[in-house]
Structure 1
Amino acid sequence: MNGPDINLTLAPELRLFTAPSRRAERVPTTIDGTSSLGHVVESAGVPLTEVGRLLVDGREAPASYVPQGGEDVEVEAVERPQPVPGAPLRFLLDVHLGTLARRMRLLGIDTAYENEDIGDPALATRSAAERRVLLSRDRGLLRRREIWAGAYVYSDAPDEQLRDILGRFAPHLMPWTRCTACNGTLHAADKDSVGELLEGGTQRSYDVFAQCGDCERVYWRGAHHARLELIVSDALAEFGGGVTA
């Protein structure tokens, strides 16, 4: 038997999560009288990681509130920049976000990344254990209760993905300080100390090097540096928060 209805209004940026038939500004939504407001919103397709304030008849309510028939419920989008209390701002990205992970590391953001599909339970467990914000385009993964914090990545284009995350979380940027391969910390290295790791042409052509303290990978300003410099300069120009090396 169908229960009573509430009038559910989603913020415009949240309507992409719902079926096309439910993307009107105000949608009658059937409730059962026992499910929480958070469950109702998730049942509409919206991950709670993307939800800001919940308003019931104009008054703020928690996700645990059980809505009643005839109420008007407004679901606001998450606040930007989004505060992440209680831990240093660190991230964990799933297997599909490798390019974004490398760009975040390029900007000095602490970014763990799984380059193999270890499964949703393991990702959620790592997010909780290391207190990392889990970034994914998988709505089901973001609905897992054990994650510490999470965020949906709205675009599939790396440039827009990076802008989205920088605008949402406003992380402090410290370009050229992290290894893009493993997330370790880079330190200056002289040519003699890393010479055996370099090809002859690189040894002859470059004098300034950095090395990862974890995986020992060596970096220099090679052929791709101009492209990387553009990523860094664009991020600093729009979002600030760091200095170039």
Structure 2
Amino acid sequence: MSGSDAPDPSTVTLTLADDLHLFLPPRLRAGRVTAAIADESTLGHLVESAGVPLPEVGRLVVDGAETPASYRPVGGEAVEVYAVHRPQPVPGGAEPAFLLDVHLGTLARRMRLLGLDTAYHNDCDDPVLVEQANAEHRVLLTQDRGLLRRRNLWFGAYVRGVRPDAQLDDLLRRFAPRLRPWTRCTSCNGHLTAATKDSVAADVEPGTLAAFENFARCDECARVYWHGSHGGRLDEIVDTALRTVAQV
């Protein structure tokens, strides 16, 4: 790989959309890459060799014609590489369910707060994550480009942002999912069901029972929820998320 613009019949020139520049090494952040063609090279291979995972790529246009990633370049071509269109539908048109890798635990809790079906484990290695994503048709969210390059992964996406607020904003703008706040357990992803005060009396402190009227219990882990002292911050997260999705 080099940043040279000189035409060469053994190379193709990739011009990457601005939203894909973060995947390039600093010396190539202008978004123009010269890729050498090797035997059996496909256009998809060349794009990934530049550092861009294919799940982040939308259209590929070779000398003005839209072309699949399986195309085998002949050399001397100019390729425009576009980012995925936002909002992005999930294959099959289903409402998306998600699986997050071990580094995105805070994002997982916020997604569950919004009612998104979000699986998360803090002890799974890459092959196990891919297996679960495929078996349950979950969108695998990660910041590991190598994980997105696994050929047997049915569908995945790179999460942009360092802080959870930015990561959640990126996720919402990419998929514009339907939100159902306060309906899932932030601990285990189970569904929440309204519970009477009598039914939760043994599981909460007497002061909490006296101070609040509305409770819910997780159908899976039996954890009890109420709108407590952290409600203001959680309300802010929910309100911001609802506004974001409404604007997408």
Aligned position for 2:91: 85
Unpaired runs of 5+ residues, structure 2, are 1-7
1:150 aligns with 2:152: no
1:227, CA displacement in angstroms?
0.7
Q: Report matched runs for 1:98-117 at 5 Å.
A: 98-116=105-123
| Partners of 1:50 and 1:92 in 2: CA distance | 17
Q: Alignment length, in residue pairs? A: 239
1:21 aligns with 2:39: no
Aligned position for 1:207: 213
Q: Is the 8 A contact 2:24 2:52 kept in 1?
A: yes
1:135 aligns with 2:144: no
* Worse-matched range after superposition: 24-33 or 70-79: 24-33
Question: Identity of aligned pairs, percent?
Answer: 61
Aligned position for 1:234: 240
**2:189 partner letter:** N
1:33, CA displacement in angstroms?
4.5
After superposition, the C-alpha distances for 1:57-91 in whole angstroms (9 at most, x for unaligned) are 01111111011110011110001000113233100
Unpaired runs of 5+ residues, structure 1, are none
Aligned position for 2:17: 11
Match of 1:162 among 168, 171, 183: 168
Match of 1:47 among 53, 58, 68: 53
| Partners of 1:77 and 1:96 in 2: CA distance | 24
| Partners of 2:9 and 2:243 in 1: CA distance | 52
| Partners of 2:12 and 2:95 in 1: CA distance | 39
After superposition, the C-alpha distances for 1:144-181 in whole angstroms (9 at most, x for unaligned) are 12222101011111001001000000100111111111
| Partners of 1:238 and 1:120 in 2: CA distance | 31
| Partners of 2:156 and 2:162 in 1: CA distance | 17
**2:96 partner letter:** L
1:25, CA displacement in angstroms?
3.8
Aligned position for 1:172: 178
3-state SS in 2 of match to 1:188: strand
